[in-house]
Each structure stands twice: as C-alpha cells, then as structure tokens.
C-alpha cells in the first residue's frame, strides 16, 4: 500500500506531489458524493427497528435494577 506522507518521492513508489494532490482531490470528491447519498429505505427501516429494540431493552434493564 502506498502512503502519501509528504516525503516528495524519497521512497520508491511515492507519488509526485502534483499526482498525490490530484488523488487527494478525487478521493475527497468521491467521498463527499457518497456521504450526500440517501440511505436505502431498507437500511433506514433496519436502523429504526434496531433503535426501537435498543430503547425497549434499555427500559427493561432499568426496571430490573
């Protein structure tokens, strides 16, 4: 795995600074697009069900003390 650590090509396999910057920009763009995507309905429903289950379990544990 190549690490972009700002060594400016000191190690074999490092990217030139302009290439590393271009890679960083592309990764940031891809990540920001992914973050802005809406979650699928099935995943949202699953998360809601897990939250309800967790809340119900927390109430039961509190009552047992």
Closest CA to 9 of 29, 19, 24, 26: 19
Which DSSP state fits 4?
-
Look at residue 19 and tell me if it is in a domain: no
Look at residue 3 and tell me if it is in a domain: no
Q: Report the domain count for the chain.
A: 1
**pLDDT at position 1:** 42
Structure confidence by residue, pLDDT tens digits, 9-50: 445 458 889 999 999 999 999 989 888 889 899 999 999 999
Q: Look up the domain containing 42 and give its range.
A: 26-64
pTM passes above 0.75: no
Higher pLDDT: 64 or 16? It is 16
Higher pLDDT: 21 or 8? It is 21
> Are the C-beta atoms of residues 14 and 7 closer than 8 Å to each other?
yes
Look at residue 49 and tell me if it is in a domain: yes
**pLDDT at position 6:** 53
Backbone region of residue 13 per phi and psi (left: phi > 0; alpha: psi in -120 to 50; beta: other values): left
């Amino acid at each position: 795995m190549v690490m972009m650590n700002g060594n400016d090509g000191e190690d074999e396999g490092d990217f030139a600074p302009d290439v590393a910057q271009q890679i960083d920009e592309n990764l940031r763009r891809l990540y920001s697009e992914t973050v802005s995507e809406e979650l699928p309905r099935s995943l949202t429903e699953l998360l809601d069900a897990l939250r309800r289950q967790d809340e119900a379990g927390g109430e039961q544990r509190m009552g047992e003390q």
